[in-house]
Structure 1
Amino acid sequence: MHDERYEKTAEASTTSRNGMNGMNGATSALLAALIFLVALNLRPAIAAVGPVLTRIGGDMGWGESVLGVLGAMPLWAFAVVSPLVRFVTARIGADRTILVALLVLAAGDATRSFGGPVGVWLGTVAVGAGIAAGNVLVPVIAKRDYADHVPMATGVYSACITTGSAVAGLTAAPLAAAFGGWRPALAIWAVPPLVVALLWLSRVIRERTTSMTESSATESSATADHRPDEGSAGEPAIESVVHVPADDRPLWCRPMTWYVTLFMGLQSAAFYTMSNWLPSVVTAVGFSDSVAGVHLFVFQSLGILSGLLIPTLMRARGNQICAAMTASVPMVVAGLGWMLLPRLSLLWSVIGGMGQGAALVVALTLISLRGRTAAETVALSGMAQSLGYLLASIGPLAFGTLAELSGGWAVPLVLFTALASLQCVIAVFAGRERV
């Protein structure tokens, strides 16, 4: 069952897109491409934390368990906020919701850095809330604006997400050293979302203008021509209706919904666990902080390449099983490598990085492909990301807790590898084509 208000908003959004396509082609392309700039801001505020996590712990007097909670908190915010995004979108529209999300993200970055101990927690929640809205809506807007190229558009904005994450992970430690602490190193990431929000405002204004113009044109057309004209060449008397076999059960009653949700959660658990803890694992075996930052950069940046390549496998054998497995197996290999041969961490960062980037694209594409309508895609995206990120929060939280309890990294890496193995199993079910 879909929210009737959202259905109307989705129709209005489609009308707005059609109107935008009727304008200057270059302007329309630039406005549509702004979604990729939004994607660039969906990870830096989180990815920048891992390389300075030990600095935060030392400054605040927090151990690995508390730091694990800090790493899991954005994912909890994702879980809480994601299902609420559809209601905000139904009231103010997708583009305006993105604008609000960017402003909340920027405010969270600033609060986390300069709000004291309480501000660290409140700012982290705000960061998570802003990113959650983007996580839900970026796939929907990309599907709407690039309807004929969904897998490729997914690969591009996923590459943007990975790029933002990789740059933040690489520069966090040097920025902390250059500016005298972790606070300014994290605060600097409040600037990009503000810049993108200013650019996005032009899209919001254009959408409103277009909607008002087309609404007036529609009313005039309805008044002038209200009779069916079977002889008209421009308006056929009989509309073409495509009947698509569909599962009419609610989303939460469909097995495919849960497979997609589990895949989303498990691949997110792998990414956020390593984004938070890989520098600590690497320094524990003797590498310096700067080298650890490079390993994290490799892990995150190689996802750009794999994210762009994996769409070629999305229709292999008529389903997404091949793509889902190709994205999942490398993380198992990397987990075993970090556990058994940690001195070869750079190699495992390469292998794991290729897997995590591809897995994100597969997860987001599955959401787009399994939703039949715009409203259902938003609902599925909200559910998959809400429950998926709740599951994902187990990763960084349990990793830190197990490290503190065991006094080392072997036990948490066993858990990491087990979750990656489970992802391979779920990949088979989630990759089956929807009937």
Structure 2
Amino acid sequence: MEKKYLNFGLVIFLVAANMRISIIMLSPILTKVAAALNLSSAVMGSLTSIPLLCFALLSIFVAPLGNILGSKRSLNLALGLIIVANLFRVYSPTLLILGTLLCGIGITFLNVLIPAAILEWKPKEALKLNGLYTASNSFFCALTGGVASPLAQMLGWKLTLQLSAIPAVLAMILWNLYVTKNQPSQSEPGPKSSQLQNFVLVLKRPEIWLLALYMGLQSVAFYALTTWLPTVISAAGFSANQAGLLFAFFQIVGFPVSYIAASFLKSKQRYYGVTVALIFCFTLGSLLLVYLPNFVGVVLACIALGFGVACTFTISMSLISILSKERNETNLISGMVQTIGYLLASLGPTLFGYFKTNAGWNHSLWFLTITMLIWGLIGLILGRFINWQKH
């Protein structure tokens, strides 16, 4: 029986808080870190690309490992890597790179394994909990981005980065308290010998390949916007401070919608309706930045695009659980989908910047619109493979 003072939702909220804090905390203070450690431009660039490469290259391997270890040990390993990395990466350039790599590996585990842990412990509440953990991700991204620079000024950049370990410590404590006092609703994964067979079966399902493209295209939009949106806003005539505030607004507006987005998957009609609505959001946001780049237009664009990226991520992660026929498949599907998704995501900022260099920001925004139109078409096709009566 679940203890009332420690519910699973709170545990997942704190575990999910660690999915991006270690990355976001570094970005606003990167120039301070670079000056203190005498980092080259190449090293500075690698610090932002290492985690994304981990997501793209390691997710497929994390999946079977997670099935072998089980959710308790897997999440402890992930949180432990994040704690160690954040405590020790501040002392030298080598440790900074190694620590960033360990953060990337730990977060890769969280990316892949949280949907499976939810399905294992609370399968009947999977949609709500998927919304909760993606909302946690959005909230802590915005919060961390806002407090990192002021904290670095007050406490110094080293202590600021080390503070990133605190949410992981709290999450590990609560996770172990919960799993010690409660039992999963579904059994642990099967024997090691079944992993290859399960993976082959997953590869044969066309809806999983569609979901991988669905995840990948929404990731293209997310990473293109998080990389370039402040620059696009500045190019419209706003100051750097104004662009930063509007970018923070873009991130925070997604927090409430992240939580409710999963509820749109409770019926076929809702799913198709929200897919069309999200296509409209991305198209509207892009067109406002192209044709109405004044204050009102940019604010409305940030709202539309913020809603869009938050909803699409929540729905993508929820579909991993929905399309899993059994507990054993969840990690494998999550690993495959996120491997392809993040490989595509790595192209987003590059292509967005390429179109700007060769044709201007308007063409970059049209690239974003076309990408999400294709995403919407794949989403509509994907809806045909969902067993709606199951939910």
TM-score (norm 2): 0.81
Partner residue in 1 for 2:126: 150
Partner residue in 2 for 1:424: 376
Partner residue in 1 for 2:191: none
- The answer to which of 248-257 and 148-157 deviates more is 248-257
Alpha-carbon displacement from aligned partner over 1:387-406 (angstroms, at most 9, x marks no partner) = 11111111234445666x55
SS of the residue aligned with 1:371? coil
Cα offset, 1:162, TM superposition: 1.2
Q: Is the 8 A contact 1:67 1:400 kept in 2?
A: no
Partner residue in 2 for 1:128: 104
* Distance (whole Å) between structure 1 residues aligned to residue 9 and residue 290 of structure 2: 44
- The answer to which of 344-353 and 95-104 deviates more is 344-353
* Distance (whole Å) between structure 2 residues aligned to residue 397 and residue 56 of structure 1: 25
Q: What letter corresponds to residue 191 of structure 1 in structure 2?
A: I
Partner residue in 1 for 2:339: 386
Cα offset, 1:158, TM superposition: 1.5
Q: Which of 62, 65, 90 does residue 88 from structure 1 map onto?
A: 65
Q: Is 1:269 matched up with 2:220?
A: yes
Q: Is 1:305 matched up with 2:288?
A: no
Q: What letter corresponds to residue 308 of structure 1 in structure 2?
A: Y
Q: 1:129 to 1:32 in 2, by over 3 A?
A: same
Partner residue in 1 for 2:309: 356
Cα offset, 1:410, TM superposition: 4.8
Alpha-carbon displacement from aligned partner over 1:340-385 (angstroms, at most 9, x marks no partner) = 4444433211111111111111101111110100111211111101
Partner residue in 2 for 1:232: none
Partner residue in 1 for 2:163: 188
Q: Is 1:100 matched up with 2:77?
A: yes
SS of the residue aligned with 1:357? helix
Equivalenced residues, count: 371
Partner residue in 2 for 1:162: 138
TM-score (norm 1): 0.74
- The answer to which of 36-45 and 358-367 deviates more is 36-45
* Distance (whole Å) between structure 1 residues aligned to residue 260 and residue 141 of structure 2: 19
Partner residue in 1 for 2:22: 45
Q: 1:379 to 1:49 in 2, by over 3 A?
A: same
Partner residue in 1 for 2:114: 138
Q: What letter corresponds to residue 189 of structure 1 in structure 2?
A: S
* Distance (whole Å) between structure 2 residues aligned to residue 136 and residue 334 of structure 1: 30
Q: Which of 195, 208, 212 does residue 257 from structure 1 map onto?
A: 208
Q: Is the 8 A contact 2:21 2:141 kept in 1?
A: yes
Cα offset, 1:78, TM superposition: 0.9
* Distance (whole Å) between structure 1 residues aligned to residue 376 and residue 226 of structure 2: 20
Q: 1:356 to 1:92 in 2, by over 3 A?
A: same
Q: Is the 8 A contact 1:50 1:277 kept in 2?
A: no
* Distance (whole Å) between structure 2 residues aligned to residue 178 and residue 362 of structure 1: 39
Q: Which of 260, 278, 282 does residue 233 from structure 2 map onto?
A: 282
Long gaps (5+) in structure 2:
188-197
Q: What letter corresponds to residue 291 of structure 1 in structure 2?
A: Q
Q: 1:352 to 1:378 in 2, by over 3 A?
A: same
Cα offset, 1:128, TM superposition: 1.8
* Distance (whole Å) between structure 2 residues aligned to residue 132 and residue 248 of structure 1: 19
Partner residue in 1 for 2:175: 200
Alpha-carbon displacement from aligned partner over 1:121-178 (angstroms, at most 9, x marks no partner) = 4333222211111111111111222222222221122211111111112223333444
RMSD, aligned CA: 3.3
Cα offset, 1:82, TM superposition: 1.4
Long gaps (5+) in structure 1:
1-20, 215-246
